């Protein structure tokens, strides 16, 4: 009965067009009424407690770092460096897009921001060189979703807060799977263009390559500072977010000199608006999370999944299929906030490492960003490339399938996540 009330109230509110944050509160009220314990004060208190979390301070600073990175010219220099290195090979602009996506993923942690930044720079160039625009848009969208997996990752921060696991370990565990996603997209691109007649860019001279590397070195140093700082215990993930924001601002203002004092208000306002949405979601999710625990929804779910508890791979496969289905209708942040408190007790009961589960779960949700009809990243790239959604859906399919194969490998072989994690830590 609790599961029915939870799902019907949540999906019903969403079907009426209610924003996710308010739908979560409605869900909480419905659960309270079903249990006969309605108390408006508890709703308000849990909403405040959900947002009043020191670790969540990382979210606005990573958002701000992304804004400073794009406005300060770091994104453009990363693309220029990738162009100098691989732009001359057949289909080179596609390889440039993926390499740039991997590097930028280690700077911002936002799929939408990375996709927009790369798309604005590369879509016109790819169109002029004779590339299929829908396929190019699909490639850039598939590369953009690597951002939530390679540290720093806002998604890992949200999962770590709700699941109460080490965010530093999540960051370190996401490095190799994120690179695997990038390699899978590169291989898929090489396969889909094998018969295309594409115009390659002229090969850059060694002097031009070195000049691009010198110009982009400030951007490349930023992920090294974050990863080394976390690995050496110099700062926490929240402090890493502050370091990233300050570094991106310093480089943008004083090195590349593309951020002016007059630009700061707009950049701060943009980051603040996005942060407000995320924090309201976090607060609203705490209401549902608390009531899920009180109503013992995880216990009921564990009982339903009890036939699969002895087989970790089968249990993970079933959960991942469910998450893929949810990802077609719901954005990443609400999915993480809603499903994590339900699934984590089940995962622990089955003896599955919660860090490993967190990485696979976030990858699954990242893929949801390019699954129609709701895929947020698909909507972003449609706006940037000025193409129809149905065309981009066809274009993104080969790359989404490649990333789903990576997801399947991680489910079957958990050591692909756990072994690198032990090495990094």
CA distance 25 to 152: 29
46 vs 272, more confident: 272
Q: Half-sphere exposure (CA, 13 Å, Cβ side) for 386?
A: 4
Label residues 37-54 b or e (16+ Cβ within 10 Å = b): eeeeebbeebbeebbebe
Is residue 189 within 8 A of residue 137, CB to CB? The reply is no
Among the residue ranges 15-19, 197-201, 304-308, the one predicted with the least confidence is: 197-201
CA torsion through residues 168, 275, 297, 40, sign: positive
Token pair of 101, please?
């996506």
292 vs 225, more confident: 225
Query: How confident is the model over 124-133, as a mean pLDDT?
Result: 83
Q: With DSSP H G I counted as helix, E B as strand and the rest as coil, what are the percentages for the chain, rounded to 5?
A: 80, 0, 20
Among the residue ranges 19-23, 197-201, 355-359, 384-388, the one predicted with the least confidence is: 197-201
125 vs 250, more confident: 250
Region of 390 (left: φ > 0; alpha: ψ -120 to 50; beta: rest) is alpha
> At 319, phi and psi to the nearest 5?
-65, -40
Most confidently modeled of 162-166, 191-195, 329-333? 162-166
Share of the chain above pLDDT 90, in %: 23
Q: Tell whether the model's pLDDT for residue 277 goes beyond 80.
A: no
pTM of the model: 0.82
CA torsion through residues 237, 369, 107, 223, sign: positive
Q: What is the pLDDT of residue 373?
A: 65
Is residue 139 within 8 A of residue 122, CB to CB? The reply is no
Is residue 241 within 8 A of residue 62, CB to CB? The reply is yes
The model's confidence at residue 47, banded by pLDDT at 50, 70 and 90, is: confident
The model's confidence at residue 46, banded by pLDDT at 50, 70 and 90, is: confident
CA torsion through residues 181, 182, 183, 186, sign: positive
CA torsion through residues 41, 45, 50, 52, sign: positive
Region of 341 (left: φ > 0; alpha: ψ -120 to 50; beta: rest) is alpha
The model's confidence at residue 298, banded by pLDDT at 50, 70 and 90, is: low
Query: How confident is the model over 46-57, as a mean pLDDT?
Result: 72
The model's pLDDT over 68-107, given as tens digits with 9 standing for 90+, comes to 887 888 878 888 888 888 777 778 888 888 988 888 888 7
Among the residue ranges 18-32, 331-345, 363-377, the one predicted with the least confidence is: 18-32
Label residues 380-417 b or e (16+ Cβ within 10 Å = b): bbbebbebeeebbbebbbbbbebbbebbeebbeebebb
Q: What is the pLDDT of residue 295?
A: 67
> What average pLDDT does the structure give for the chain?
83
Most confidently modeled of 33-47, 139-153, 264-278, 401-415? 401-415
Query: How confident is the model over 203-220, as a mean pLDDT?
Result: 85
Q: Tell whether the model's pLDDT for residue 65 goes beyond 70.
A: yes
The model's confidence at residue 418, banded by pLDDT at 50, 70 and 90, is: very high
């Amino acid at each position: 009965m609790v599961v029915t009330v939870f799902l019907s109230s949540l999906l019903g509110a969403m079907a009426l067009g209610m924003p996710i944050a308010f739908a979560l509160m409605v869900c909480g009220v419905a659960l309270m009424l079903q249990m006969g314990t309605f108390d408006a004060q508890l709703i308000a208190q849990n909403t405040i407690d959900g947002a009043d979390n020191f670790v969540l301070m990382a979210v606005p600073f990573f958002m701000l770092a992304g804004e400073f990175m794009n406005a300060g010219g770091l994104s453009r220099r990363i693309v220029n460096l990738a162009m100098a290195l691989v732009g001359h090979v057949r289909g080179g602009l596609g390889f440039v897009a993926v390499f740039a996506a991997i590097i930028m993923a280690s700077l911002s942690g936002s799929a939408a921001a990375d996709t927009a930044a790369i798309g604005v720079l590369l879509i016109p160039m790819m169109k002029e060189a004779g590339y299929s625009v829908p396929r190019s848009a699909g490639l850039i969208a598939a590369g953009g979703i690597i951002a939530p997996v390679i540290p720093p990752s806002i998604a890992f921060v949200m999962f770590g807060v709700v699941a109460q696991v080490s965010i530093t370990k999540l960051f370190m565990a996401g490095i190799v799977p994120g690179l695997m996603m990038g390699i899978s997209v590169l291989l898929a691109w090489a396969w889909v263009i094998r018969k295309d007649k594409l115009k390659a860019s002229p090969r850059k001279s060694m002097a031009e390559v070195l000049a691009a590397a010198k110009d982009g070195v400030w951007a490349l140093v930023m992920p090294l500072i974050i990863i080394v700082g976390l690995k050496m215990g110099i700062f926490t993930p929240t402090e890493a977010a502050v370091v990233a924001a300050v570094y991106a601002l310093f480089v943008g203002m004083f090195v590349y000199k593309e951020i002016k004092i007059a630009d700061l208000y707009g950049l701060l306002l943009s980051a603040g608006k996005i942060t407000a949405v995320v924090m309201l979601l976090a607060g609203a999710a705490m209401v549902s999370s608390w009531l899920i625990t009180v109503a013992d929804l995880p216990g009921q779910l564990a009982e339903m999944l009890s036939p699969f508890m002895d087989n970790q791979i089968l249990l993970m496969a079933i959960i991942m299929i469910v998450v893929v289905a949810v990802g077609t209708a719901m954005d990443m942040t609400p999915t993480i906030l809603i499903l994590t408190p339900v699934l984590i007790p089940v995962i622990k009961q089955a003896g599955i490492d919660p860090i490993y589960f967190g990485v696979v779960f976030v990858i699954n949700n990242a893929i949801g960003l390019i699954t129609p009809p709701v895929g947020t990243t698909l909507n972003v790239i449609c706006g940037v490339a000025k193409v129809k959604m149905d065309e981009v859906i066809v274009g993104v399919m080969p790359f989404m399938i490649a990333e789903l194969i990576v997801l399947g490998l991680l489910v079957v072989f958990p050591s692909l996540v756990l072994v690198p994690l032990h090495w990094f830590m």
